[in-house]
């Protein structure tokens, strides 16, 4: 009978991607480009929110957008109509982007030319949370019709984001959505998450969100070397 | 569905170590999976069985060690296990009741060891 040997590995499965992501973040600091990773389930309002943000900030920052979808160019076309450069990334059937794919997208976009690049990730609350894209900050959008219990069902997503946007607040009268309960649940997973209540349809709440993004982008672009290069994904 | 890219990476790492050790067969793979990842064991096994076909790991037994979510309370600094399934009834820190918590572990996703022959 063959002898069985135990080999200790003790290696993080996603270590390669995590290392790549940290390397990309360092490069983004050096080239003074802020990369915002926007995630949500399909239909929560990523594109509509990004359009609102672009309208408020395009005269202050050079903005570029990367749209990631399994198929179609529908979202990129909407962004381009706002007068901003957008490229469409097709993920080849993958349900998320990893750092390698993000880097290729940034190269196609020639991201060095931009102060702010917004990555609209694939509509999915599960997989994108596992894979660090190398973004400066990650933001997720939860819409009122989806319900206030999503943080119980998808805890990883909520725990890795710097900001949570509660969208479609104009629909609150029609749904049993308890904002207070959601805030409490989410703060248990990530106590320092910034929470914004907005409606991409009416524009309500976007001034506060845009102010957050404005100050994050300025901080990133100005503090080369001095900026705390933390990865939100490392324990 | 996020199990698939994760399993592909597990297989890459395992085969690399096994080849270094000149193994003929991988008998088992022990994974440490923090509860935040919510990997479905049946899918992990299914994808692994598919991905490992034709390799020395195709008959390996997958052992998944779940690691609990551990939080610290921002106010009293106590550590405790956070049970996601009963998140609603766990109103906060079991010691002082505070609702400002920090996740300390539960995010791990690693290969602990393999058995080879």
In the predicted model, what is the mean pLDDT of chain B? 87
**Sign of the torsion angle spanned by Cα atoms A46, A47, A52, A54:** positive
Q: Determine the distance in angstroms separating the CA of A207 from the nearest CA of chain B, rounded to an integer.
A: 27
pLDDT in tens, chain A (235 residues): 678 999 999 999 988 899 999 999 999 999 999 999 999 999 999 999 999 999 999 999 999 999 987 777 788 888 999 999 999 888 777 778 889 999 999 999 999 999 999 999 998 888 899 899 999 999 999 999 999 988 888 889 998 999 999 999 999 999 999 999 999 889 888 889 999 999 999 999 999 999 999 999 999 987 654 444 443 333 3
Task: Answer whether B13 touches A (CB < 8 Å).
Answer: yes
**B5 neighbourhood in chain A, CB within 8 Å:** 94, 96, 98, 127, 131
Which pLDDT tens digit goes with each residue over B48-71?
A: 999 999 999 999 999 999 998 888
Q: What is residue B48's predicted lDDT score, i.e. its pLDDT?
A: 94
- Classify residue B97 as exposed, middle or buried by CB count within 10 Å of its CB (0-12, 13-18, 19+): exposed
Q: A63: closest CA among A25, A136, A115?
A: A115
Q: ipTM score here?
A: 0.83
DSSP structure class, residue A4: P
**Pairs of CB atoms within 8 A across A/B:** 108
Interface test with A, best of B19, B22, B32, B38 (most A CBs within 10 A): B38
Q: Determine the distance in angstroms separating the CA of A102 from the nearest CA of chain B, rounded to an integer.
A: 16
Q: In what order do the strands lie in the sheet with A163-167?
A: A85-90, A63-69, A116-120, A34-40, A137-143, A163-167, A194-197
Q: What is residue A155's predicted lDDT score, i.e. its pLDDT?
A: 87
Task: Answer whether B51 touches A (CB < 8 Å).
Answer: no
Q: How far is CA A154 from CA A16, A40, A44, A95, A157, in A?
A: 24, 11, 15, 15, 6
**A130 neighbourhood in chain B, CB within 8 Å:** 2, 6, 37, 109
Q: A61: closest CA among A40, A32, A88?
A: A32
Q: What is residue A2's predicted lDDT score, i.e. its pLDDT?
A: 76
Contact between A166 and A198 (Cβ < 8 Å): yes
Residue B4: band (very low, low, confident or very high) from pLDDT cuts 50, 70, 90:
confident
Whole-number Å distance between alpha carbons of A149 and A138: 20
Contact between A17 and A128 (Cβ < 8 Å): no
pTM: 0.85
């Amino acid at each position: 009978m063959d002898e069985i040997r135990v080999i200790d590995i003790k290696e993080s499965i996603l270590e390669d991607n995590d290392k790549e992501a940290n390397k990309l973040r360092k490069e983004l600091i050096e080239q003074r480009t802020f990369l915002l990773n926007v995630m949500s389930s399909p239909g929560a309002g990523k594109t509509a929110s990004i359009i609102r943000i672009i309208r408020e900030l395009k005269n202050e920052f050079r903005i570029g957008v990367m749209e990631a979808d399994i198929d179609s160019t529908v979202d990129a076309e909407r962004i381009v109509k706002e007068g901003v450069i957008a490229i469409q990334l097709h993920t080849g059937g993958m349900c998320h982007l990893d750092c390698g794919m993000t880097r290729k997208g940034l190269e196609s976009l020639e991201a060095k030319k931009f102060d702010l690049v917004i990555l609209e990730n694939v509509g999915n609350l599960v997989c994108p949370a596992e894979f660090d894209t190398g973004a400066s900050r990650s933001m997720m959008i939860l819409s009122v019709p989806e319900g206030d219990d999503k943080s119980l069902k998808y805890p990883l997503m909520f725990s890795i984001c710097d900001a949570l946007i509660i969208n479609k607040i104009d629909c609150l009268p029609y749904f049993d959505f308890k904002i207070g309960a959601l805030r409490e649940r989410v703060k248990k997973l990530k106590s320092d998450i910034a929470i914004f209540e907005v409606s991409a349809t009416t524009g309500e709440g976007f001034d506060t969100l845009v102010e957050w993004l404005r100050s994050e982008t300025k901080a990133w672009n100005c503090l080369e070397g001095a900026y705390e290069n933390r990865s939100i994904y490392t324990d | 569905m996020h199990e698939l890219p994760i399993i592909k990476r597990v297989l890459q790492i395992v085969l690399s170590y096994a080849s270094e050790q000149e193994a003929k067969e991988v008998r088992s793979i022990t994974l440490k999976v923090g509860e935040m990842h919510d990997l479905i064991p049946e899918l992990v096994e299914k994808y692994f069985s598919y991905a490992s076909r034709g390799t020395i790991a195709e008959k390996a037994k997958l052992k998944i060690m779940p690691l609990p979510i551990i939080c610290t309370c921002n106010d009293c600094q106590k550590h405790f296990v956070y049970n996601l399934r009963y998140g609603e009834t766990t109103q906060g820190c079991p010691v002082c009741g505070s609702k400002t918590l920090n996740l300390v572990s539960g995010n791990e996703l690693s290969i602990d060891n393999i058995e080879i022959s």
